[in-house]
Structure 1
Amino acid sequence: MQTERLVKEATERMEEKGSEIRSAIEELSLFKHEDHISTRPFLNFCTLVLQVLDKIGPTMAVLRQDVHQNIQRLEKLHELDPSVYSNLVEILKKERAEGSARKAESCTRALVWLTSRSVDLTVALLDKLAKDPGQNLAQVVEESYNSTLKPWHGWISSAAFKVALKLLPENKAFISLLVARGEDYTILIEEIHTLVSLLLPLLNEIHTLLRTFGVDRLKAT
């Protein structure tokens, strides 16, 4: 499937560059001079988010599946006509014109959950770890979840997440999985700071875009 190809390509890029974080920095550099947010680099970046979630383990299994499905949904529309749907604005315009933006299976909803939910959570988590590496991972994940995803989840999803927190790896074990082969922890922290500094402006741009289209407050169905 197309998304599986994206994951494979992202993995190959990661192996060449040394880490998921470094690969994400490379992907974000593609957004610098765009008038609109390009669909392809955005999807490539989201596949790297999947890999970071994989490092956390079973706790993020449900979220990972959600990210995977949303990437697939956007990828499918993009492949219908890559020239027309080359950027996220055109995707939002299409579904607003059709009146389908708020439907459960819309690409608009997929974009909302990828950015305003899943990527926001990942950024919050990495930022907290980089600022205070000694924090307990369970506490970091829970705080990140509470400030990003929880407001948009129903009570069932929230309760399931709390149970899943018990399956988290140790903090050192998680960080060691993110460190590139042959490098040290200091380089990872520097790269996380770089990633967050590059990603926050992009996220702000997407948040503004979603507000403009009036879809930023969509909750889980």
Structure 2
Amino acid sequence: MKRRREEMEKGRSEIRSAMEDLSELFLVKPEEKASTLALLTVSKQLLHVLDKIGPILLVLRQDIQQNVERVEELHGRDPSVYSSLTAILTKEKCEGTTKKSDSCSRAVVWLIRSINFTVAFLERLVKDPELNLAEAVEEAYKSTLKPWHGWIASAAYKQVALKLIPEKDIFISLLMGKGQDFEDLAGDIKNLLTMLQPLVDETNAILRKNTVDKLKSP
């Protein structure tokens, strides 16, 4: 937290900080683009972005935090063994625990879905300046999370979440670093999305290969 405050004081936006953390990870370990560590790193950064949207996505934020902790706990037992997502999925497949509500496989699935949501949201944010924040969130939600949510989660989102979305200008100003304008921020977002694409594509492919990509809410 202290490091993040220092970064914000130096004018780095949340987006720029995420880019720098990922660059550092991939520079040291180029093969990490679809690893357990990369997924955890990106997921933790997303928490800071979601915080800017406010209470609307509190449930999603809590889910991400719990899933990060679950995967982090297993990874911490033996980082060399569980450095790959495939190793985690294979372990639970052999144990027959993949579909359990507290499985790491399920946690990985929902973490990448949360990343998919954030990527879709940020894409819309920079691609269509006329789109308001509620529309950007709703379109991203429908294309990434809604297909996997039960009716209770979907209803809660529609009835409560959309009413709590801040004004777009306020959200944008919260994302910006000191001295940035929207054009600078949009450039950072596009660069971040480019960096995230290999992780998104490879992780989604791993989930499909292990037939866990269609897991729904328990």
Q: With the length of structure 2 as denominator, give the TM-score of the two structures.
A: 0.91
Residue in 1 that maps onto 2:101: 104
Structure 2 vs 1, CA of residues 51 and 36 (structure 1 numbering), >3 Å: closer, same or farther?
closer
- CA positional deviation for 1:82: 1.6
Deviates more, 1:21-30 or 1:211-220: 21-30
Query: 1:174-204: per-residue Cα shift (whole Å, max 9, x none)?
Result: 0111001222221100011111122122201
Among 4, 19, 26, the alignment partner of 1:11 is: 4
Distance 1:86 1:140 in 2: 34
Contact 1:21 1:195 in 2 (8 A): yes
Residue in 2 that maps onto 1:114: 111
Distance 2:111 2:92 in 1: 17
Give ranges in structure 2 of 5+ residues lacking alignment.
none
Residue in 1 that maps onto 2:148: 152
Deviates more, 1:9-18 or 1:126-135: 9-18
Deviates more, 1:128-137 or 1:17-26: 17-26
Residue in 2 that maps onto 1:127: 123
Q: How well do the aligned residues superpose, as a CA RMSD in angstroms?
A: 1.8
Residue in 1 that maps onto 2:190: 193
Structure 2 vs 1, CA of residues 161 and 14 (structure 1 numbering), >3 Å: closer, same or farther?
farther
Among the aligned pairs, what percent are the same residue? 53
Secondary structure in structure 2 of the residue aligned to 1:34: helix
- CA positional deviation for 1:9: 7.3
Deviates more, 1:62-71 or 1:24-33: 24-33
Structure 2 vs 1, CA of residues 14 and 161 (structure 1 numbering), >3 Å: closer, same or farther?
farther
Which letter maps to 2:13?
A: S
Distance 2:98 2:3 in 1: 29
Q: Higher relative contact order by CA 8 Å / sep ≥ 6: 1 or 2? A: 2
In the TM superposition, what are the counterparts of 1:48-67 in structure 2 within 5 Å?
48-67=45-64
Contact 2:11 2:179 in 1 (8 A): no
Among 11, 23, 26, the alignment partner of 2:17 is: 23
In the TM superposition, what are the counterparts of 1:165-204 in structure 2 within 5 Å?
165-204=162-201
Contact 1:10 1:44 in 2 (8 A): no
Among 157, 181, 188, the alignment partner of 1:161 is: 157
Q: With the length of structure 1 as denominator, give the TM-score of the two structures.
A: 0.90
Deviates more, 1:104-113 or 1:10-19: 10-19
Alignment: residue pair count = 213
Q: Does 1:216 align with 2:209?
A: no
Contact 2:34 2:198 in 1 (8 A): no
Contact 1:27 1:41 in 2 (8 A): no
Distance 2:134 2:152 in 1: 19
Contact 2:89 2:105 in 1 (8 A): yes
- CA positional deviation for 1:11: 2.9
- CA positional deviation for 1:28: 3.1
Which letter maps to 2:4?
A: T
